[in-house]
Amino acid sequence: MADTHPPQHPGQVPDRIAVRGLTAHAHHGVYGFERENGQTFSVDAVLEVDTAPAAATDDLALTVNYAELAQRLHAVLTGEPVDLLETLCQRLADVCLADPLVQAAEITVHKPQADLGVAFDDVTVTIRRERP
C-alpha cells in the first residue's frame, strides 16, 4: 500500500510531477459569446509528490500516473462551463488532490484568446492548494 504521508526530509524541496500545456476548446467565460463559441484554454498542473517509493521500486502504483491525470484534467477542462478561471482552477486542483499521493497542486489556466479590447499574449490564473 502506498505511503500517503509527507516526505520525511524537512526543508527538502518536494518532488514535482508536471503536466504542462494541456489544451482544449472549451466554453468557459462570463460573456454569452464565450459560452456559445468557446475558445482555446490551456492548463499547467504541477503536483508535489514523494517520488522516492516509486523510484526505489520502479512501480507505477506508487506515483501519479500522469496519463490518467491528463485525462481527468481534460474532462474538467472540457466539462461543465464556469464563469471564472478561478472556479476552473479550483476544480482542476480538486482532481489533483483526489489522489492521496498528491501533497499539493499548483494549477495555472491560460486563456490566450480572452477579449480584453487590447493586444496581449495571455491571461492566466494560478492557484496552489495543499492537503490540510
User: In whole angstroms, what is the distance from residue 73 CA to residue 51 CA?
Assistant: 21
Q: For residue 37, what are the contacts with CB-CB under 8 A and spacing of at least 6? A: 27
Cα 101 from chain centre:
15
Residue 4's nearest CA partner among 75, 98, 92, 71 is 98
Q: Is 111 a catalytic residue?
A: yes
Active-site hit among 20, 104, 111, 125: 111
Phi, psi for residue 108 in degrees, rounded to 5: -120, 125
Write out the catalytic residue numbers: 111
